[in-house]
Amino acid sequence: MGLLTILKKMKQKEREMRLLMLGLDNAGKTTILKKFNGEDVSTISPTLALFNLGLNIWDVGGQKSLRSYWRNYFESTDGLVWVVDSADRLRLEDCRQELSALLLEEALALDDIKTHHWCIIGCSAVTGENLLAGVDWLLDDIAARIFTAE
């Protein structure tokens, strides 16, 4: 199922698809969304924003002071994107620890999910390389769970 097919089904069913984009501060979350939305990525500021691309993508800041608020966005979230700046080798361990803590979070209700699908796709927030492939994979996976065959 392609991106346009999924967006069309969402409109027909009047069902929004919610994605939550998390990661440490300066990992590239906003840059990814701006690139995906065709916006200039040369200037980025700290964010707590909603990008509406026919689906809701919550870009929640990754500063240490904001991480405790991440749990407020879990409810009704259909997919989670964890962004890692692979060039920032000094923070990879911090990134791993935060992701591990996130996966233990009760509010995610991971025990209620019968299947866990994971996919790691290397991409570039600056050039856009593989961004569409990652979003396509995620939307296909979510669509298989929330849209029934017609």
- Say how many CA atoms lie within 13 Å of 7 toward its Cβ: 10
The annotation status of 27 as a binding-site residue, yes or no, is yes
The annotation status of 52 as a binding-site residue, yes or no, is no
- Active-site annotation holds for 12: no
Buried b (16+ CB within 10 A) or exposed e, 55-82: bbbbbbbbeeeebeebeebeeeebbbbb
The annotation status of 47 as a binding-site residue, yes or no, is yes
The annotation status of 88 as a binding-site residue, yes or no, is no
The annotation status of 49 as a binding-site residue, yes or no, is no
Of 18, 12, 9, 14, the residue nearest 138 (C-alpha): 18
Catalytic residue, from 63, 86, 97, 127: name it: 63
Of 3, 5, 22, 4, the residue nearest 137 (C-alpha): 3
The annotation status of 8 as a binding-site residue, yes or no, is no
The annotation status of 25 as a binding-site residue, yes or no, is yes
Residue ranges of the binding site for GTP: 23-30, 62
- Show which residues are catalytic: 63
Binding residues for Mg(2+): 30, 47
Binding residues, by number, are 23-30, 47, 62
